[in-house]
Structure 1
Amino acid sequence: MTLGALRPNSLADQAAQRLREEISSGTWPVGSKLPGETSLAKSLGVGRSTVREALRELATAGLVQARQGAGVFVTGTEVRGDWPTRLRTAAITEVYEVRMMIEVEAARLAARRRTAEDLSALDAALAQRREAAAAGDAEFVDADIRLHGAVVAAAGNGLAMTLFEDFTPSLRRGLIDLLSLTGLRSDAPRHGEDAHAALVEAIRDRDADAAGRVLRTELVETLALLQAD
């Protein structure tokens, strides 16, 4: 069994996600025993302590169960638990697809409902994103997420904003990892600058169709990169 080595960022979360994908795909069906910690650690390229933490996450989600003296067994293929647990154990591509469903419509609503205060917040967030181009990937991702959050806030729907905030930790980890993997900002430190500027202008112009189209195109491109990872 070869799962592929993981990056040092958020190793336990990544390990849990990788193991969950293997369980969902049927590599280890319900009732089967997982390989031992040493074997999993070697396959994933991490330490045994990381594997133990990942297995605890999967146990909390209802996917595996440790049996004293016997090992760890698969008990389910669907995540069980509350919303935060489901988000923590969801694949980043799943989170991103739901993000698209929320944000594209939020951008359309923002174009119709935005206020002068919303525009000021959008302009400030866009400027911060530009400034963050000179910083590291984590700072750039944080600035990018703030801009997207300002778009959702301008939609004037509190529930949409709550959902976006719930997604933020998973999105942040996944996007930082994506930039590290692809090196997208090596040649383009302000990656996505034109698209984000166009999004803000479409909202300023109250052009809902343009706002939705610009944001959907940008998110689809990023999702494609995540799926290729």
Structure 2
Amino acid sequence: MKTEHIVRRSLAEEVASAIEEKIKLGNFPIDSKLPAEPELMKQFAVGRSTIREAIKYLSQSGYLHVQQGLGTFVKRVTGHHALDAEIEKGNFNDIFEVRQVLELKIIEKAAVNRTTKGLRDMAIALKNRAKYANSGNFTLCVEADIAFHSAIAESCGNSILKALYNTLSVHVNKFFTEIYKDTSPFLISQKRHEDLMEAIKNKNIQQAVALATQIIQHK
């Protein structure tokens, strides 16, 4: 008899799947605000960390959009699962190559189209990146790094590039957790990230792309 492989899902993935189903059924309509964490915790009988992990997963998959200080909003009824699966099969070199091509184009466009809000989001993420790197909080440091680059993607003015980056960022996050053991690489590259934001702010495309290339290639 052929043995079938059963993929076990975490509790956060189960909750994410349940929320995703509610979105598709229209229980959580597009542009509506998701219930607050305490209400979701009660509804699904899970802890705060599980809810946060589920929302993070759905945000990265394109279903939700988290607005700091305002809440979490339903963005669309379909996600990026097919692309996720394809990226998951790729090796490090493939992901690295795609990241470089995608991110350099995003940064080039962000240097032209950045907004005041986009620059503010970048600054907040960079401040958190430095804080968590200095305190040695690896998980939050990686999240802040991804938030910084996601803010750049948000500022590029191309929704497709932004969606592609948000999907890829999940796998970049996994890559970071595999190759880095502490926050020291983030401390080393903090100044270069700050210079990158300044170049984007000044609409200096050439300098922004050069700095981004150095960051990606760890130079």
Measure the CA separation in 1 of the matches of 2:84 and 2:173. Answer: 15
Letter in structure 1 aligned against 2:97: E
Letter in structure 2 aligned against 1:165: N
Q: Where does 1:21-170 land on structure 2 (aligned, <5 Å)? A: 82-133=82-133, 134-170=135-171
Letter in structure 1 aligned against 2:197: V
8 Å Cα contact 2:137-2:183 kept in structure 1: no
Q: Normalising by structure 1, what TM-score? A: 0.56
Deviation at 1:128, TM superposition (A): 1.2
Deviation at 1:129, TM superposition (A): 0.9
The one-character-per-residue Cα deviations of 1:162-214 (angstroms, maximum 9, x if unpaired) are 1111112211111111112xx561xx662311110000000111101111110
8 Å Cα contact 1:199-1:211 kept in structure 2: yes
8 Å Cα contact 2:114-2:156 kept in structure 1: yes
Measure the CA separation in 2 of the matches of 1:189 and 1:216. Answer: 16
The one-character-per-residue Cα deviations of 1:25-82 (angstroms, maximum 9, x if unpaired) are xxxxxxxxxxxxxxxxxxxxxxxxxxxxxxxxxxxxxxxxxxxxxxxxxxxxxxxx94
Matched, 1:179 2:180: yes
Which consecutive unaligned segments of at least 5 residues does structure 1 have? 1-80, 223-229
Measure the CA separation in 2 of the matches of 1:93 and 1:177. Answer: 14
Percent of pairs identical after alignment?
Answer: 20
8 Å Cα contact 1:92-1:171 kept in structure 2: no
Q: Normalising by structure 2, what TM-score? A: 0.59
* Structure 1 segments of 4+ aligned residues over 6 angstroms from their partners: none
Deviation at 1:101, TM superposition (A): 0.4
Residue 206 (structure 1) aligns with: 203
Measure the CA separation in 2 of the matches of 1:101 and 1:108. Answer: 11
Structure with greater Cα Rg: 1
Letter in structure 2 aligned against 1:158: S
8 Å Cα contact 1:152-1:160 kept in structure 2: yes
Measure the CA separation in 1 of the matches of 2:101 and 2:145. Answer: 18
Letter in structure 2 aligned against 1:138: T
> Would you say how many aligned residue pairs link Structure 1 and Structure 2?
138
Deviation at 1:135, TM superposition (A): 3.6
